[in-house]
Amino acid sequence: MSAPEDKRSQFNPLARRSWTDLGPRVASAAVLLALAIVGLYVGSYVFAAIVGAVFAGCYREWERMVTLKPLTTAGGVLIALLAVSALVFPAFGPLASLALVAVAAALAAVTATPGIRLWRVGGVVFYGLVIVMLMTIRGEATWNQPGTFDAGLWAGLMLGCVIWATDTGAYFTGRQVGGEKLAPDISPGKTWSGAIGGFGLGTLVGLIVWLLVVPHSPWWIGLLLAASISILGQVGDLAESAIKRRFRIKDSGDIIPGHGGLMDRLDSLTFGIAFLFVVGALHGGFAAVAAGFLYW
């Protein structure tokens, strides 16, 4: 005798191939890509303004997520301080930016309730450091200084291409192939097939960019760096999903059609920025992070 409703696992290949969000995703990705290219190429205050606006926007979503309340005056001040920390970089350098991040962290600690203090301060420090690292990678030179801005531009381009290709490969492979879930307790929509497809495409695209922009650097170093960025991008995505699960929210925001919030779109980028910065700084020094990453 059968049960009133068939409880058996239903396998519907068409269910995982819903492409209704593809149009909004492509359109929003095109806008973000255009902003990134313009910012990387022009550099200086234009890049600083884009970086400040984007990652201060990420912190805005973080603030609302961890407090579970509408934005307060203190939260608005923290957002403003992070945005300004990017804008002061071209004129006064990383120490000025770090000083503003420190002020923001202190303010976050003083104004937060005990239950959210660690989360609030952690968000300020994390996004503040991401801003400083990204500004340092790009460097201070601009498009009208021929021969002086190549490293920052190409390092940023490689980073962006690997992350974009990883996200794209994971999206299409996961939707088309489906299969075993990667981390069902953290992010039920992610599959092993998507992770593998994203890793493969991200690594391949990164290697191609490497061979084009730094042909004299060993190819296998480019392969290892691209693979590492691709893996860390997916780790960053899972980390943000775990934090959202902790606060019981699905999307960090709805500012980007097809993607959710800024955090949802840039979670995979932040870990890649940190990796690029550390490798570049260890190899080339803090004054030449992008060159240290690219030239071996």
Tens digit of pLDDT for each residue in 150-197? 889 999 999 999 998 998 888 888 888 878 888 887 887 888 898 999
Q: What is the pTM of this model?
A: 0.87
Single-letter code of the amino acid located at 55: F
Model pLDDT, residue 18: 56
3-state helix, strand, coil in the chain (%, to 5): 75, 5, 25
- Express each pLDDT in 45-55 by its tens digit: 999 999 999 99
d(CA 261, CA 273): 19
Which helix (H) or strand (E) is 191 found in, with range? strand 187-191
By the 8 A CB rule, do 64 and 244 touch? no
| pLDDT in single tens digits along all 296 residues of the chain | 444 444 444 444 444 455 566 666 677 777 777 888 888 888 889 999 999 999 999 999 999 888 888 888 999 999 999 999 999 999 999 999 999 999 999 999 999 888 889 999 999 999 999 999 999 999 865 545 544 458 899 999 999 999 989 988 888 888 888 788 888 878 878 888 989 999 999 999 999 999 999 999 999 999 999 999 999 999 998 998 888 888 887 666 656 655 567 887 788 899 999 999 999 999 999 989 999 999 99
Model pLDDT, residue 171: 84
Model pLDDT, residue 211: 96
Distance of CA 2 to the CA centre of its chain: 49
Q: What is the per-residue burial (b if ≥16 Cβ within 10 Å, else e) of 15-27?
A: eeeeeeeeeebee
Q: Facing residues of 260 across strands? A: 256
